[in-house]
Amino acid sequence: MAGEPQTDCLFCKIVSGDIPATIVRESATTVAFRDINPQAPTHVLVIPKVHYPDAASLAAAEPQIAADVLTEAGAVAADEKIDSTGYRIIFNTGSGAGQTVFHAHAHVLGGRGLQWPPG
Ligand code: AMP
Ligand code: ZN
């Protein structure tokens, strides 16, 4: 059923605690943890606790939780003190855009100069 935990999903296992992560924030609906392969001094992933394969399907089914992910992404940026220097919130969507984990997640990247357009 949509939104239910998926047994083969890495990020569902982080939500359940079956796989460890360096959690930096948690809310009723979201978890934020450090990316295992950071691409910037701050690289945190914010995920909904419910399982949807990407950001658009999350927003279509659970718009309030999609908003919670964005609110928490902003809170991470403030916690990490990158809100004053600038940061990026990224939702890779589809394998052609580099998505490798099909549980919706926001990347929060900052702490270094960020090129535009991204590669
Ligand atoms: P994406 O490529 O947009 O799907 O992002 C998936 C991200 O998850 C990548 O940046 C990975 O480095 C990260 N990742 C994969 N496994 C873990 C893990 N066990 N803990 C934290 N981050 C992870
Ligand atoms: Zn999942």
Q: What angle do CA 64, 68, 70 make, to 5 degrees?
A: 120
- The CATH number covering residue 25 comes to 3.30.428.10
What range does the domain containing 50 cover? Answer: 10-99
pTM above 0.95, yes or no: yes
Q: Does residue 93 form part of some domain?
A: yes
DSSP conformation class of 7: T
- Single out the catalytic residue among 51, 103, 105, 107: 105
103 labelled catalytic = no
Which amino acid is located at 72 in the chain?
E
**119 pLDDT higher than 90:** no
pLDDT in tens, 87-110: 999 999 999 999 999 999 999 999
Residue 39 lies in a domain: yes
Return the ligand 1 atom nearest residue 37 CA: 12
- Residue 2's pLDDT band, with cuts at 50, 70 and 90, is confident
Q: Tell me, yes or no, whether 112 lies in a domain.
A: no
Domain presence at residue 3: no
CA of 78 to the centre of ligand 2 (A): 26
**Is residue 77 included in any domain, yes or no?**
yes
The total number of structural domains in the chain stands at: 1
Rounded CA gap, 18 and 108, in Å? Answer: 23
Residues 20-55: tens digit of each pLDDT: 999 999 999 999 999 999 999 999 999 999 999 999
- 15 falls within a domain: yes
Domain assignment of residue 114, yes or no: no
What is the Å distance from ligand 1's center to 97 Cα? 14
Tell whether 4 is covered by a domain.
Answer: no
**Looking at the CA of 40, which ligand is closest?**
1
